[in-house]
């Protein structure tokens, strides 16, 4: 029989007290990590989402929280379930959802978050859904965090672009209806004259200029040359075009000029009566040595200027008639505009109002 002599050393059966002390802190840390905070309920709801519609739930979460939620769709799958941070930072999204069981998401920062259900599709119909969500706080101090979302009105400037039509350029169509000299004698039928003219089917403005004698015609030429120096439109299209568009000009009536009486005949019957020797009504008669007028009301068909020399001397009359049509060419451009909108903005109780 063998007796033991003193304590024997047995290797690897138990760790030494010194080595064991190294593991004790790690064991406590592990127990602390496992001591998770209880879940705080956020939402438990049953609802219906119609086709081409969405249902959204808002709630507040604290930094370090873990969101845990489950989704159950009792019909066919719903098109999309999305979780994110307000207003539009998507953190999780899943299409054609029939069931989500205990989905956990860590929350990076404190703020307003949402879960959105969206349904769409051709003849997809409505979906009946259930949602249950809770938050697991990081620490006990944040267990009482207020997850309620409040709403306030906020004025926002919304910028947008709108198509605007504008005139790229305008074509000026000038038609000379008449530019005649008529010699009126001092007696008999020859003391009358008729200037017939036909106007375009469509035009915008008409100008009529009448002057007696050579000096009146010279006045017209001088005025046209003078205005052409400073007015490129007159230089390109002539003075009659400017009279039709603006209806203003300065002429000096020659001294000692002989006046002429004239009528503007718009009716065919009035023209026939004048050719047979019947003077028109005195109410429409004008008498002048140099005159012009602008008409915006269009005349139709063949018209006439009836002239009558009431002087005891023969008379030379200059008659100018011009029409102008403006044809605008349009283009489209983008114009930046803005509007003020009042929107609903979510906030938490610890945010500044």
135-149 per-position pLDDT tens digit:
999 998 889 999 999
What pLDDT was estimated at residue 251?
Answer: 85
Cα 303 to Cα 268: distance, rounded to the nearest angstrom: 7
User: Residue 87, preceding bond cis, omega within 30 degrees?
Assistant: yes
- Maximum separation of any 2 CA atoms in the chain, in Å: 179
Per-residue confidence (pLDDT) for residue 59, from 0 to 100: 97
Element (H, E) at 72: strand 66-73
Element of type H or E holding 266:
none
Common-topology check for domains 40-148 and 167-330: yes
Q: What are phi and psi of 79, to 5 degrees?
A: -60, -45
Domain boundaries, the chain: 40-148, 167-330
Extract the residue ranges of the chain whose pLDDT is less than 70. 1-35, 350-353
Q: How far is CA 179 from CA 208, 293, 317, 319, 353, in A?
A: 10, 15, 11, 6, 79
Which H/E stretch holds residue 100?
strand 99-106
d(C-alpha 264, C-alpha 241), whole Å: 20
Lay out the sheet containing 286-288: strands in order across.
Answer: 192-198, 302-308, 260-265, 286-288
Quick check: 42 and 146 in contact, CB under 8 A? no
Nearest CA to 258 out of 152, 183, 164, 190 is that of 183
- pLDDT score, position 35: 55
- Please enumerate in sequence order all residues whose Cβ is within 8 A of that of 128, keeping only pairs 6 or more positions apart, or say none: 46, 47, 48, 73, 74, 75
CA distance 28 to 186: 134
pLDDT of residue 18: 41
pLDDT of residue 349: 87
The domain made up of 167-330 is a member of CATH 3.40.50.10070 = no
In sign, the C-alpha dihedral spanning 79, 81, 82, 86 is positive
CA distance 341 to 136: 38
Q: Give the Å distances, CA to CA, from 86 to 68, 170, 211.
A: 18, 52, 80
Of 197, 42, 57, 31, residue with least CA distance to 118: 57
- How many other C-beta atoms are found inside a 10 Å radius of the C-beta of residue 270? 19
Sign (positive/negative) of CA torsion 277, 281, 282, 284? negative
Q: Per CATH, the architecture of 40-148 is what?
A: Sandwich (2.60)
Q: How far apart are CA 237 and CA 241, in angstroms?
A: 6
What phi, psi does 215 have (nearest 5°)? -65, -35
Q: In the β-sheet with 99-106, what is the strand arrangement from edge to edge?
A: 40-49, 127-136, 66-73, 99-106
> Residue 187: its pLDDT value, please?
76
């Amino acid at each position: 029989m063998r007796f033991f002599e003193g304590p024997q050393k047995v290797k690897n059966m138990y760790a030494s007290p010194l080595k064991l002390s190294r593991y004790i802190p790690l064991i406590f840390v592990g127990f602390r990590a496992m001591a998770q905070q209880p879940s705080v309920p956020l939402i438990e709801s049953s609802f219906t989402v119609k086709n081409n519609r969405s249902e959204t739930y808002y709630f507040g979460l604290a930094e370090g929280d873990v969101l845990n939620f489950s989704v159950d769709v009792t019909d066919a799958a719903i098109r999309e379930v999305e979780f994110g941070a307000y207003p539009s930072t998507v953190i999780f999204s899943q299409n054609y959802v029939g069931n989500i069981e205990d989905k956990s998401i860590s929350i990076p920062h404190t703020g307003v978050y949402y879960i959105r259900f969206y349904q769409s599709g051709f003849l997809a119909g409505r979906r009946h859904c259930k949602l249950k969500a809770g938050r697991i706080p990081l620490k006990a101090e944040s267990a009482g965090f207020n997850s309620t979302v409040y709403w306030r009105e906020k004025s926002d400037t919304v910028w947008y672009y709108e198509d605007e039509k504008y005139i790229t350029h305008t074509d000026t169509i000038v038609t000379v209806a008449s530019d005649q000299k008529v010699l009126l004698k001092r007696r008999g039928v020859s003391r009358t004259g008729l200037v017939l003219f036909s106007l375009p089917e469509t035009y915008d403005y008409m100008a009529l200029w009448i002057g007696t004698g050579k000096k009146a015609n010279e006045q017209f030429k001088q005025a046209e040359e003078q205005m052409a120096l400073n007015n490129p439109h007159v230089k390109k299209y002539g003075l009659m075009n400017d009279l039709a568009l603006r209806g203003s000009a300065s002429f000096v009536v020659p001294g000692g000029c002989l006046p002429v009486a004239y009528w503007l005949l718009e009716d065919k019957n009035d023209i026939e009566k004048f050719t047979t020797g019947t003077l028109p009504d005195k109410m429409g008669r004008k008498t002048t040595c140099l005159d012009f007028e602008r008409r915006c009301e269009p005349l139709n068909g063949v018209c006439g200027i009836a002239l009558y020399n009431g002087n005891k001397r023969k008379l030379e009359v200059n008659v100018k008639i011009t029409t102008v049509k403006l044809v605008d060419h349009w283009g489209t451009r983008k114009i930046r505009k803005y509007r003020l909108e009042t929107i609903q903005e979510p906030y938490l109780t610890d945010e500044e109002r």
